[in-house]
Every structure is written in C-alpha cells, then in structure tokens.
Chains A and B, each alone.
Chain A
Amino acid sequence: MSFQTPATEDFYRVLPELIWCGFGVLLMLLQPFTKNRPFFTAVAFVGASLGALSAFESAQHPGAGFFALIQIDTFSIFLHLLVGGVAALVVLAAGPYLKRENLDPAEFFALVLFATAGMGVLSSAQELLTAFIGLEMSSIASYVLAGYRRDTLKSSESALKYFLLGSFATAFFLYGIALVYGATGTTTLTLMQDAPATSNLLRLGLALILIGLGFKVAAAPFQIWTPDVYEGAPTPVTALFSAGPKAAAFALLLRIFATVPAATQYWFWAFWILAVLTMFAGNLGALVQTNVKRLLAYSSIAHAGYILVAFAAVTNMDAADKNLGAVPAYTAVLFYLLSYALVKVGAFTIVSQLGGKDEKYVTLDDYAGLSQRHPVAAAALSLFLLSLLGLPVTAGFFGKFYVFKAAVNSGLIWLAVLMALNSVIGAYYYLKVIVAMYMREPHDAVKDAPVAFPATVNIVLVLSALGTVYFGLFPNQVLRLLLEKTLIGGLK
C-alpha cells in the first residue's frame, strides 16, 4: 500500500472536527493567562457553534473522504449540526453552573469540545476503526467530565462507574470490529455490502458491536450505569450525555445497519427485543424515582427504546420496499434525536439551575410549588416534559409520531402497541413532576432558596423551548431536508 496524501477537499470534510479540536486546544492554552469566566464561555461557545456551522461548508464537499474513512452526506451533516448545537447550548448553560460550583471553566469547555469532536467523527465514520477512534475520543472526554466535581463523592462514583463499564463496552466494540474484519477482510462498511450474510463470524462480530454501542445509547440490558452516572455527573454534563453521545452512537449504529446488508437482514429480532426491554426498563424504573435527575435518566433509557423501535422498523424492511419504508424510518430516527436533544438539554439546564449550590434541590419535593416560586421555569420545564411525553404542538410529539409511523409502515403493529403502552406509563412520571410543580405547595426549605436564571441560561431555555414548539408545529423543514437528499452515502 502506497502512501497518498489526502486531497484538500478532505480537510473541508472534517472542518467541524478541526474547529472543535482547535478551540479545545486554544482554551487549554489560554487557561494560564486569564481567570475570566465569561471570556472562556464566549470562546467555547464560539468554537462549538462555529464548528457546527462549518458543517455547512463540509456539506459543499459531499462524498467519501480520507480514502473512504469518512462519508459526508446529509445524514452526517445533520448530526454534526445536532451535536455541535448541543455542545453550544451546554457551554452556555454550564457557564453559570461552573461559577456556582467554583469549578475551573477552561478544561471543562475543552473537554466538551473534544467530546463533541469525537461525536462528529462517529457520525461521519464509514470505517470501523475510525468509528472506534471517534468513540474513544468522546468517551474519554466524557469520563473526565462525569467526574468533574471531583470533591463530591457522587461525581467520582459516577466517573468511575462510567469509566469501568464504558471501557468494558469499548472492548466489546473493538473485539467486534476484529471479528468483522476476520469475516470480511475489511473494516470499511461500504466494502462489506457483498459480505455473506450466513457467516457466523460476521454475525458474532456485529453482535459484539451492537453490545458496545448498546452500552453507549443505554439500551437494556446494558443500561444499568445510566441512572448513577447521570445523577452523579454535573448537570450540564448530564445534558450533554443524554443528547450528544447518544445521538452519535445511534448514528453509527444506523450507518452500520443501513450499509451492511448482512446485518440488516438478521438483526430485526435483536432490535425488537432490545427496543421492548429498553422501553420497559426505562419507564418502569422511572416510575419509582423521586430524584428528578434520576427520573430524567430513566426517561432517557426509555427514549432510547423508542428510537430502537425505529431501528426494528428499518431492519424489518424487505429489500424490495427498502426505498419505500426505510428512508422515512431513518428520518424518524434523526428527527427523534433532534427533538429529544432539544428537550433534554432544556430540561437538564433547568434542573441544573434549580439545584442550587452543590445540587441540593433535585428531588420532587423540592420542585413542589415551583409554578409559584418561578412560573417561567415551571412552564418551560412543563413544556419539555410534555414534549418527552409526546403531547402535540411539541417536537417530541412528531418524533414519536414518525417512529410510530415507521413501525406501522413496516407492519410492526404489536411493537407500536407496546410503544403506545409505554408512552402511557411514561405519562405517569412526567405528570408527577408537573403535578409537583403546579399542584403542590412548596416546602419551607426551598421557599427561600434563590432561583437564579442568568442571561446565558435564559438563552439556552428560549432556544430549546422555541425549537421544541417550532418543530412541533412545522416538522416539515427538517424532514424535507432529510428526505430530498441521499440520506446515507452507502445506501442506494
């Protein structure tokens, strides 16, 4: 194999990642010179959003780059925008949080940007080892972020748990790659199109990859870590975890199972079972939670289950009607990820502000009577919860609607019915929070607790709330973008 230099175009294709990493490094270099918090927040925000916007530049150079290691298509552009947008919002929300908890901003923001770059790589990777690098980039930064409040016990526990289980899962993923390579002789997804579907080695390899990614997206039975990690991590980090890495891991999963036909045919039942298990594990677990952070963690497990329903729909398509049904199913996943990310970032931002110093106030009792103490926060959190519940005029409704539609389209009526039942279970615990906020009286300790909503946090809330309502009224824009373009490069 002779060494070639990558084309100039290729650098445009990874422009977002370059910007994110560049700003990450810049932040670390700036750290010794200033202690100015707003300055770091501004730099990190500019970095995150610039990186996200530069995805439009990479969109001018569609196709495979770096010798087919990555693929720039509508799918990857969309996800770059998504993870970049999430990072920008998280940066804004984290500024006041870091100040309150007296944590160092520069490293934090740098880690957020590195993690985002990793997610960017994941969403455009078309080769398994590249994907592995992306996964590691985002994971390692995430481990550190989870333990960022290092003097608190819970945060350290969260980091350790995430690290141990995460590296275990990564090992599965890597082993899976090795087996797939053994079976097909390549790690490039597009070259596996003709791989024999009957190869047991390939199946095993894909199963291990599924386990590795199942851990990242918190699919049952690999979800055990989620509540503890989400609870212990600083809340802005939790917001990032629940939106970014999940989206990126789902993206990779989707790309693998969309590109490798050998995978799509045999994994229908795997996804079916995963989806059902995950939905029930998340929803039933959330029922008994009194800590809002944990409740939202369980809810994010449940939502992973709903997304997996769309995966089952994708893999259930017969080859013949693939063009008919699969593309809407991919679109359903992407729209779901978008609506879900908006909502989760908004919700966790509110949780982070209401927590007060050391995140003291995170139980349902502390949320009692919030509508009287802080009506706007209560209204915004209700909006987000209703979106998670899937009520109309919120983005969450259309997210769920398209997944339902994908499932019904591919004939998975019973899965759709199970999902419907799960949304009803979900309604109970989301309502519990709303009931606490609107129908109970605040207890004495929180009555006098100051609830501060600084400007940057308000921007995050306004953006995510507007987005939630906007996509709840006009989901068209996103869908048109996704439907009119070739969605996934390898898929014809």
Chain B
Amino acid sequence: MNVNLALPMLTLFPAFGVIALLVLRGDDHVFIRRMALAVSAIEFALSLFLLPQVPVGSTGYRLEINVPWITSPPIHLHMGVDGLSLFLVLLTTFLTPISVLASWNSIQHRVKDFFVALLMLEVGVVGVFVSLDLFLFFLFWEIMLIPMALLIGIWGHERRIYAAVKFVLYTMAGSALMLVGILWLYNATGSFDLVEIQRQLQAGIVELSPRTEMLLFLAFFVAFAIKVPLFPLHTWLPDAHVEAPTAGSVILAGVLLKMGTYGMMRFCLPLFPHASYKAAPYVATLAIIGIIYGALVALVQPNLKKLVAYSSVSHLGFVVLGIFSFTVVGMQGAIYQMIAHGISTGALFLLVGMLYDRRHTFEISQYGGLATPMPRLAAFFLFAALSSLGLPMLNGFVGEYLVLLGTYIVHWQWAAWAATGVILSACYLLWAYQRVFFGEVTVEKNKTLPDASERERFILATMSIVILWMGIGSSYITHRTEKAAEAAHEHMQQWDVGAAPAPANGNVVTLERSSNR
C-alpha cells in the first residue's frame, strides 16, 4: 500500500480555493478574481513538480497512492501519473489560470459562482486524469459534468440552456452505460483497480468471451466517443462551444475532449485488446469521416466560433485515428496531438472570445479588415491559426505528422484519407482569417475597435510561447510519452491480436445468462 499524498493534494487543491472563495468576501469582484487566479496559478506551479517525477524512460505509474476507501465493494483511492496523464494534467492546470485571466472582464454577472464552477471543474478533470481506480475515475468523470453545465448554462449566450442540457444528457447517456461496464468488469474480476484488472486479464486469470469483451469495449468506448466526440456522436459539441463563455470553451476544447481520447488509451486498449483490434477499422472509418466532415462543415461556417468548434471535431479525429493505428508512433502522435490541440484551439477560442468581447457577435460577415484597427490581435490570431493547421515548427504539425506516419505504416489508405483533413484545415482557417482580418474594414463600428490590451497580450504571448516551444522542443514531450505509448503497443502485441482468442484452460467468463432465461 502506497501512501503518497502528492496527487490527492494536487487534485483537491482547487477545492480548497473554492471553499476559501465561498467563505471569504463575496461581493468584492476584484478580490474574487485575484483569489481564483492565485489558486489556479499555484495549482499550476504545484503540477510542475510532477515533471521531474516522470523522467524519460520511466515505466509504470509514479507518485502512486493506494489506500482503501470503501471496503465493500473494494474501492480504493488509487492514483498515479505516467507519461500519458502527466501532460494532460499539466495542460489542465495551465489552461485554468489562462481561463481565469480570459474571464477577467467578460464575466460581470455572478462572479463568485463563475470562478467556483471553474475551479471545481479543474478538480474533476485533474481527478479523471490521475485516477487508477475505475470507480474513482467514474466519480470524477461525473462530478466534472455539473460545473461545466453551469458554466455553459449560466454564463453562456442565447441558447445556453439548450446547449447545457444537451451536453449533460449526451455525456450521461454514455457514462451510464460505462457504469454498467465497470460493474460487469468488477463482477468478473472482483476489483475496481485498473492495474489489478489489467493484471488478471493479461495473466488469463479471467478470460472474457469475445462477445462479452466486445460488449464491454462498447460500453466504455461509446462513453469516450461521445466525449471526444467521434463523428455521429458529435452534435452536442458545436452547440456547447458556441454557447459557452470563452473560459468554458477553452477548458471544453482544451481538456474535456481529451478525457475521451485519454479513456480510450487508458482503458479500452489495455483492457479489451481483441475487441479494440476488431473494432479498429470501424473506429478509424468514423475518425476519418470526422476529420473530413468536421473540416468541410468548418469550411462553410458563417459563425467563427462554430468554425473553431468543428475544427475540433476534425482534429480529434486525428487523435482517435492515431490511437487505433496501434503503432507506437501513431499513439505518440495521438498523445502529442491531444496536448497541441488543447493549446492551439484554446488559443483560437481565446481570440474569438476577445473579438466577441468587442463586438458581441461571432458572425464572420460582421468582421473584415480587422488587421487595420488591431494589428497585434491579428498577428496572434494568425500564429494560432497556423499552429492549428499544422505549420512545421509549430505544435500542430508534430502531432498530425506522427499520427499520419503511424497510420501510414499499417494502412496507407487511412493515412491518405486523413491527410486531406490537413489540407482542408489550411483552407478553412486561412479563409476565415482572410475574411476576418484582411481587406477593407467593411463595418463602420470595427474601425475604432481597440487592439489587444495588456492582459490579453499577456495571455496570447504565453500561449504563443508554448505553441512555439512545443513545435521546436517536441522531443521533450515525446521522450516522456514514449514509454506510455510503447506499453500500450506492446500490450496489443503481447495479446497476439488478430488471432482469435483461444478458449484456453482458464474459465471463460460469460455473463449473458439474462438473455436466455
């Protein structure tokens, strides 16, 4: 039994901030903002201490804590980080102070509640990434729903309530089935512990019949696919994004979507390798449809924020494709793309939010020629757009390249189709940029718009530095994620995927009694 309080403390630290916010002066908005910023900045600083804990080449989970919480059924407070979750945690803790800063002036209504929700969201998301107990994971997965729904529903735009409810219902639909899946697994293995379940499945102590495995895989996968979102399940995303306030969009695109792809890598692949293998062609097809469809819809969007939202559908398709290529390179690319997308799309949403703060519209037709009144904002926008469309030297390129490379090794057709998404992303982003920033200022009001303020410049400069650093120093991240990707990959090979699982000496667990009773 390991007792290392680092991760629980890291997870719960924003919650202490929430309590402080609730107890302390509620009417002083400046104080609340500063408090929230301080809490989230300290959280980020704390999370940086995780970096040396996961050195290059380290395998397994670090900073593990494993103490019993509920005895029956055996639920443990089991947390740990590895190369996969490390950077997602960092991404979360990085984007939260950015979001606080981005909401500095735009949130004037129920300020305290806003920052309370934002910090609670951080608790939930960090918890999801560090939990190694399925039950604990599910718990955080559900907890994070409420603050996000509130963020969209209270501080969002016109159709905010519709969007908030849709978001919650979609996620709940997936997670309810996942809960059944978790219990099914528990029933077969007697444990909620990811490591333990994985050990039992790997050692053949518990064998799942192919049909059971496929059903279990689907129970988890659908929940994750809704979150990603994978193509036919994506319809909640544009609504949620367009209606959410800027901070909500940044967190939603930046980290919430990654919870889905993280879940696929952490749970679907290691626990159900055969089913993953069998499902891979279908998943990849949906991912490729998502890449192209998302890009095409983004191309014709008159609404700038929706455009960025659909670009997320497209980019996340790459992540799923990389994961289901089952190659080390592809998986590493997927992890990298998760982080990169969080930063560059986060930056785009911040920029769109800044435009909205000035003009209160997302319609591209309302803009045009903005580079004249606001050259700095235009420059930052171009930088973020270029990183999102995958310009070499910037972060978007690395992820997409690795994914395509990894996919090409096994299925060149998949890579060929997916590559069209890269081209399309250049089309929609540059075209949108041209319509918004270049040419003559068409709307009179736009002539006097102020350029980026000091606060905005700080936010954007920080994002740009990270974008650039990730593009140039990508090996810093890839070295640390390598082992995680290799572990998942080896695991697939070790199971000799492709061959039908032999009904070996172990007892094959079938839990389908109910259907024929």
Of A215-223, A346-354, A476-484, the stretch lying at the interface with chain B is A476-484
Interface members, chain A 347-404 (any B CB < 8 Å): 386, 391-393, 397, 401, 404
Contact of A417 among B150, B161, B177, B187 (CB under 8 A): B177
Bound CA span A108–B316, Å: 62
Across the interface, do B168 and A427 meet the contact criterion of CB distance under 8 Å? yes
Bound CA span A480–B142, Å: 26
Known: A438-B150, A439-B153. A417 touches B168 (CB 8 A): no
Across the interface, do B146 and A391 meet the contact criterion of CB distance under 8 Å? yes
B419 sits at the interface (CB 8 A): no
Of B65-73, B88-96, B306-314, the stretch lying at the interface with chain A is B65-73
Contact of A413 among B71, B150, B164, B511 (CB under 8 A): B511
Query: In the complex, what's the smallest C-beta–C-beta distance from A21 to chain B, in angstroms?
Result: 37
Across the interface, do B512 and A438 meet the contact criterion of CB distance under 8 Å? no
Interface members, chain A 428-442 (any B CB < 8 Å): 428, 431-432, 435, 438-440
Across the interface, do A421 and B183 meet the contact criterion of CB distance under 8 Å? no
Q: Which of A268, A404, A411, A428 has the most chain B CB within a 10 Å cutoff?
A: A411
User: B512: which A residues are within 8 A, CB to CB?
Assistant: 411, 413
Known: A391-B146, A476-B71. A427 touches B514 (CB 8 A): no
Query: In the complex, what's the smallest C-beta–C-beta distance from A68 to chain B, in angstroms?
Result: 32
Known: A404-B180, A417-B180, A480-B72. A435 touches B153 (CB 8 A): yes
Q: Could you mark each residue 148-189 of chain B with 1 if its beta carbon is under 8 Å from any beta carbon of chain A, else 0?
A: 011001100000110011001100110011011001101100
B150 to chain A: closest residue by CB: A438
Known: A391-B143, A480-B71. A416 touches B511 (CB 8 A): no
A472 to chain B: closest residue by CB: B139
Interface residues on B, range: 35 or more
Known: A393-B143, A405-B186, A424-B169. A416 touches B161 (CB 8 A): no
A475 sits at the interface (CB 8 A): yes
A474 sits at the interface (CB 8 A): yes
B36 sits at the interface (CB 8 A): no
User: Tally of A-B residue pairs with Cβ under 8 A?
Assistant: 96
Query: In the complex, what's the smallest C-beta–C-beta distance from A435 to chain B, in angstroms?
Result: 5
User: A427: which B residues are within 8 A, CB to CB?
Assistant: 168-169, 172
Bound CA span A425–B283, Å: 27
Contact of B161 among A404, A439, A475 (CB under 8 A): A439
Across the interface, do B73 and A405 meet the contact criterion of CB distance under 8 Å? yes
A409 sits at the interface (CB 8 A): yes
Contact of B165 among A268, A316, A428 (CB under 8 A): A428
Q: Which of B72, B177, B186 has the most chain A CB within a 10 Å cutoff?
A: B72
Across the interface, do B183 and A405 meet the contact criterion of CB distance under 8 Å? yes
Across the interface, do A420 and B180 meet the contact criterion of CB distance under 8 Å? yes
Query: In the complex, what's the smallest C-beta–C-beta distance from A460 to chain B, in angstroms?
Result: 22
B156 to chain A: closest residue by CB: A439
User: A405: which B residues are within 8 A, CB to CB?
Assistant: 73, 183, 186-187
Bound CA span A404–B184, Å: 10
Q: Which of A409, A413, A427, A438 has the most chain B CB within a 10 Å cutoff?
A: A413
Query: In the complex, what's the smallest C-beta–C-beta distance from A376 to chain B, in angstroms?
Result: 12
B138 sits at the interface (CB 8 A): yes
B contacts with A: majority SS? helix
B155 to chain A: closest residue by CB: A439
User: B153: which A residues are within 8 A, CB to CB?
Assistant: 435, 438-439
A59 sits at the interface (CB 8 A): no
A417 to chain B: closest residue by CB: B180
User: B71: which A residues are within 8 A, CB to CB?
Assistant: 476, 480
Bound CA span A316–B140, Å: 32
Contact of B184 among A413, A424, A432, A480 (CB under 8 A): A413
B448 sits at the interface (CB 8 A): no
A408 sits at the interface (CB 8 A): yes
Query: In the complex, what's the smallest C-beta–C-beta distance from A452 to chain B, in angstroms?
Result: 22
Query: In the complex, what's the smallest C-beta–C-beta distance from B310 to chain A, in angstroms?
Result: 25
B165 to chain A: closest residue by CB: A431
Bound CA span A438–B145, Å: 15
A435 to chain B: closest residue by CB: B161
Contact of A416 among B154, B164, B168, B183 (CB under 8 A): B183
Q: Could you mark each residue 100-129 of chain B with 1 if its beta carbon is under 8 Å from any beta carbon of chain A, else 0?
A: 000000000000000000000000000000
Bound CA span A254–B186, Å: 26
A414 sits at the interface (CB 8 A): yes
Contact of B146 among A386, A409, A416, A475 (CB under 8 A): A386
Known: A411-B512, A424-B172, A427-B169. A483 touches B142 (CB 8 A): no
Bound CA span A392–B179, Å: 12
Known: A392-B142, A420-B176. A408 touches B70 (CB 8 A): no
Across the interface, do A435 and B169 meet the contact criterion of CB distance under 8 Å? no
Across the interface, do A415 and B173 meet the contact criterion of CB distance under 8 Å? no
B68 to chain A: closest residue by CB: A476
Query: In the complex, what's the smallest C-beta–C-beta distance from A323 to chain B, in angstroms?
Result: 15
Across the interface, do B164 and A435 meet the contact criterion of CB distance under 8 Å? yes
B505 sits at the interface (CB 8 A): no
Bound CA span A432–B168, Å: 11
Q: Which of A268, A412, A483 has the most chain B CB within a 10 Å cutoff?
A: A412
Across the interface, do B179 and A421 meet the contact criterion of CB distance under 8 Å? no
User: B187: which A residues are within 8 A, CB to CB?
Assistant: 405, 408-409
Bound CA span A483–B72, Å: 9
Bound CA span A427–B517, Å: 31
B515 sits at the interface (CB 8 A): yes
A54 sits at the interface (CB 8 A): no
Bound CA span A87–B173, Å: 36
A423 sits at the interface (CB 8 A): yes
Across the interface, do A420 and B177 meet the contact criterion of CB distance under 8 Å? yes
B138 to chain A: closest residue by CB: A392
Bound CA span A420–B172, Å: 9
Across the interface, do B161 and A408 meet the contact criterion of CB distance under 8 Å? no
Bound CA span A268–B513, Å: 13
Across the interface, do B180 and A413 meet the contact criterion of CB distance under 8 Å? yes
Contact of A424 among B140, B145, B173, B215 (CB under 8 A): B173
Query: In the complex, what's the smallest C-beta–C-beta distance from B311 to chain A, in angstroms?
Result: 28
Bound CA span A479–B215, Å: 30
User: B145: which A residues are within 8 A, CB to CB?
Assistant: 391
Query: In the complex, what's the smallest C-beta–C-beta distance from A286 to chain B, in angstroms?
Result: 14
Q: Which of A404, A408, A431 has the most chain B CB within a 10 Å cutoff?
A: A408
Bound CA span A386–B70, Å: 21
Query: In the complex, what's the smallest C-beta–C-beta distance from B142 to chain A, in angstroms?
Result: 5
Across the interface, do B139 and A393 meet the contact criterion of CB distance under 8 Å? yes
Q: Which of A386, A431, A440, A479 has the most chain B CB within a 10 Å cutoff?
A: A431
Query: In the complex, what's the smallest C-beta–C-beta distance from B141 to chain A, in angstroms?
Result: 9
Contact of A476 among B72, B143, B180, B186 (CB under 8 A): B72
Across the interface, do B180 and A439 meet the contact criterion of CB distance under 8 Å? no
Query: In the complex, what's the smallest C-beta–C-beta distance from A168 to chain B, in angstroms?
Result: 33
Q: Could you mark each residue 214-225 of chain B with 1 if its beta carbon is under 8 Å from any beta carbon of chain A, else 0?
A: 010000000000
Bound CA span A268–B168, Å: 34
Interface members, chain A 271-313 (any B CB < 8 Å): none
B153 to chain A: closest residue by CB: A439
Bound CA span A408–B73, Å: 13
Across the interface, do B179 and A420 meet the contact criterion of CB distance under 8 Å? yes
User: A424: which B residues are within 8 A, CB to CB?
Assistant: 169, 172-173, 176
B515 to chain A: closest residue by CB: A414
User: A412: which B residues are within 8 A, CB to CB?
Assistant: 514
Q: Which residues of A contact B (CB under 8 A)?
A: 268, 316, 386, 391-393, 397, 401, 404-405, 408-409, 411-417, 420-421, 423-424, 427-428, 431-432, 435, 438-440, 474-476, 479-480, 483
Q: In the A-B complex, list the 3 residue pairs whose CB atoms are closest, starting with the nearest.
A: A420-B176, A411-B513, A392-B139
25 sampled A-B residue pairs with Cβ under 8 A: A391-B146, A392-B142, A393-B143, A397-B142, A408-B511, A409-B187, A411-B511, A411-B512, A414-B514, A420-B176, A420-B179, A423-B176, A424-B172, A424-B176, A427-B169, A428-B169, A431-B149, A431-B165, A435-B161, A435-B165, A438-B150, A438-B153, A439-B160, A474-B70, A476-B72
With A392-B143, A393-B139, A435-B164 known, 14 other A-B pairs at CB within 8 A are: A401-B179, A411-B512, A413-B184, A416-B183, A417-B177, A417-B180, A420-B177, A420-B179, A420-B180, A424-B169, A424-B172, A432-B165, A474-B70, A476-B70
